[in-house]
């Protein structure tokens, strides 16, 4: 049995992985961004220790109270829209959660892992960390940054007893991609730069949301397997052949 902290556990891969880990007998600390998400998850999953943890705030200080053997950095947000026109605050918010919040929490958890000389850090990247897609630049920029974070951290932690794994799922149907694809229409309109390419952006969004992989269980099981494994690969692409769909 291991003690595992999972961020972004209110839905999608995070919630599914928490349940899979709990079913395998691990102690799971499932965290959500808001109190409302936290209360909802507590009612739905009494087998989990559910905590509010907004990784962009001082909430991260509370992790010092928990023994954490494995950290699953799953919390994230998405934003679509052309980079020539996207409001810079949308970029800032996406980086704040996906990159800076992830690093801040990882640093906090390493404060207990390094003296113990053991632990595992798992980082939920995306296929978008390895390729780029028009209209999804804000999101893929953050995931490329997570690739650099994970690989650099792995090298820097070599010999400490702490390993790092990066997970790269394709477009699974968790609801995340649908929300991200729709987010640009809150601000992108006929008066925006590149509005003449609206049809192209709609087509790309439609392709992403219309070709999602329906069963998320493979990703949730992969996360649990990486928690349990004696040794792990640094890069974990799922499905293994998904890059072929992007010409990579």
Domain spans of the chain, in order of start: 3-242
- For residue 112 the two structure tokens come to 């207990």
Residues in the chain: 248
* pTM, full prediction: 0.95
What is the model's pLDDT at position 245? 84
Q: What is the DSSP string of 135-166?
A: T-HHHHHHHHHHHHHHHHHHHHTTTTTEEEEE
Q: How many helices (H) and strands (E) in the chain?
A: 8, 7
Confidence (pLDDT) at 248: 59
Specify the residue for token string 């690093």. 103
pLDDT, tens digit only, all 248 positions of the chain: 999 999 999 999 999 999 999 999 999 999 999 999 999 999 999 999 999 999 999 999 999 999 999 999 999 999 999 999 999 999 999 999 999 999 999 999 999 999 999 999 999 999 999 999 999 999 999 999 999 999 999 999 999 999 999 999 999 999 999 999 999 999 998 888 889 999 999 999 998 899 899 999 999 999 999 999 999 999 999 999 999 988 65
Which residues 6+ apart lie within 8 Å of 163 measured at CB? 120, 121, 154, 157, 231, 232
CATH number, domain 3-242, options 3.40.50.300, 3.40.50.720, 3.40.50.2300, 3.75.10.10: 3.40.50.720
Cα–Cα distance list, 24 to 17, 79, 107, 242 (Å): 11, 34, 28, 28
Among residues 13, 136, 139, 172, the one annotated as catalytic is 139
* Strand residue runs (E) in 42-150: 49-52, 70-73, 119-124
Joined together, the tokens standing for residue 68 give 């954490």
Nearest to 76 by CA among 49, 51, 103, 111: 103
Q: CB-based burial of residue 1 (10 Å sphere; 0-12 exposed, 13-18 middle, 19+ buried)? A: exposed
Q: Is 139 a catalytic residue?
A: yes
In this structure, which long-range contacts are made by residues 114-119, counting pairs with CB atoms below 8 Å and at least 24 apart in sequence? 114/160, 114/162, 116/161, 117/160, 117/161, 117/162, 118/69, 118/161, 118/162, 119/68, 119/69, 119/70, 119/71, 119/161, 119/162
Predicted confidence at residue 227, as pLDDT, reads 98
Burial readout 81-103 (b: 16 or more C-beta within 10 A, e: otherwise): bbeebbeeebbeebbbbbbebbb
Contact 130, 147 (CB under 8 A): yes
CA gap 235, 248 in Å, rounded: 15
With beta carbons less than 8 A apart as the criterion, state whether 125 and 150 touch. yes
């Amino acid at each position: 049995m291991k003690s595992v902290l999972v961020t972004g556990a209110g839905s999608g891969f995070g919630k599914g992985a928490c349940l899979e880990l709990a079913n395998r007998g691990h102690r799971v600390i499932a965290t959500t961004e808001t109190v409302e998400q936290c209360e909802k998850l507590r009612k739905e999953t009494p087998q989990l220790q559910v905590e509010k943890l907004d990784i962009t705030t001082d909430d991260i200080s509370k992790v010092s109270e928990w023994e954490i053997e494995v950290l699953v950095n799953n919390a994230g947000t998405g934003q679509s829209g052309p980079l020539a026109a996207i409001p810079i605050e949308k970029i800032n918010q996406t980086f704040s959660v996906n990159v800076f919040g992830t690093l801040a929490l990882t640093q906090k958890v390493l404060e207990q892992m390094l003296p113990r000389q053991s632990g595992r850090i798992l980082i939920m990247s995306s296929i978008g960390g390895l390729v780029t897609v028009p209209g999804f630049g804000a999101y893929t920029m953050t995931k490329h940054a997570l690739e650099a974070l994970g690989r650099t951290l792995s090298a820097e932690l070599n010999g400490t007893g702490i390993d790092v794994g990066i997970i790269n799922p394709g477009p699974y149907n968790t609801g995340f991609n649908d929300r991200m694809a729709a987010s640009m229409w809150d601000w992108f309109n006929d008066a925006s730069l590149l509005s003449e390419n609206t049809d192209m952006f709609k087509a790309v969004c439609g392709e992403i949301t219309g070709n999602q992989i329906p069963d998320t269980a493979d990703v949730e099981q992969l996360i649990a397997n990486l928690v349990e494994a004696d040794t792990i690969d640094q890069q974990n692409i799922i499905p293994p052949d998904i890059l072929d769909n992007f010409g990579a």
